[in-house]
Amino acid sequence: MSVTACQGLGFVVSLLGIAGVIAATCMDQWSTQDLYNNPVTAVFNYQGLWRSCVRESSGFTECRGYFTLLGLPAMLQAVRALMIVGIILSVIGLLVAIFALKCIRIGNMDDSAKAKMTLTSGIMFIIAGLCAIAGVSVFANMLVTNFWMSTASMYTSMGGMVQTVQTRYTFGAALFVGWVAGGLTLIGGVLMCIACRGLAPEETNYKAVSYHASGHNVAYRPGGFKASTGFESSTRNKKIYDGGARTEDEGQSHPSKYDYV
């Protein structure tokens, strides 16, 4: 899978997950009334994070919000906090991911900056998905505990008869929406982190070496070499003695065998 496709897929999956987390947080069907022992009832109760509702058989529904903060259970407040933190992190990660998309060019932003932004958004999506899954799981655990405690208190000592006076609550639709949305957000964050590796420029251990051409006029000697430019050739008159390159001054200071003939 190419980097652009992986990044785009992660963005779309995370976007769907964020929409699901927001929808699950706003839904009222976090816990619904259990109708196992009482399938025919005139009212149907269900509760959410922000209000509780009663639906009558006539179709009329009445909801009432929780107008207290300190009077709510601590677990419910913790679930609220986890869902809100997940939404905030996912929205911030979504904004960062929009500018980090490879198909969008903003100024002179290079690939290394886009790779860092993609990694940041992916980490935010992963944390947001974990917060959503944790919040839904905590609420589900609270429902299971209350359900079995209510069931145990409903049994009497006479033949295990069940009294259907106390209302029991079971899983609502919002829990399943929250689990799926948290999983999608988590998967989208992982895909964004994978795409970051392809956007980052590869570093090499080889260093560039520049080569310069040698001078045009080079006179070689048995003991080494001497380079001269065009200007130096005009100031000095060169003569070849004994197979070596020597100047006129050097010829006078060092007489050869032909001077004594």
pLDDT at position 245 is 45
pLDDT at position 16 is 95
Topology, domain 1-38+68-154+166-199:
Butyryl-CoA Dehydrogenase, subunit A; domain 3 (1.20.140)
* Gap between the Cα atoms of 13 and 35, Å rounded: 36
pLDDT at position 247 is 46
Cβ neighbours of residue 102 closer than 8 Å, sequence gap 6 or more: 3, 4, 7, 111, 114, 199
- Residues 136-157 have a mean pLDDT of 77
User: pLDDT tens-digit profile of 97-121?
Assistant: 998 888 777 777 777 888 888 899 9
- Mean pLDDT is lowest, of 38-42, 68-72, 75-79, 120-124, for 38-42
pLDDT at position 91 is 94
Long-range contacts of 142-148 (CB under 8 A, 24+ apart): 142/73, 142/75, 142/76, 143/31, 143/169, 143/170, 143/171, 147/34
Residue 255 — pLDDT band, cuts 50, 70, 90? low
Residue among 237, 234, 145, 136 nearest 183 (CA): 136
Is the model's pLDDT at 146 over the cut of 90?
A: no
Query: Rounded to two decimals, what is the model's pTM?
Result: 0.69
Quote the percentage of the chain above a pLDDT of 70: 67
Quote the percentage of the chain above a pLDDT of 90: 33
Is the model's pLDDT at 233 over the cut of 50?
A: no
On average, the pLDDT of the chain sits at 76
Residue 213 — pLDDT band, cuts 50, 70, 90? low
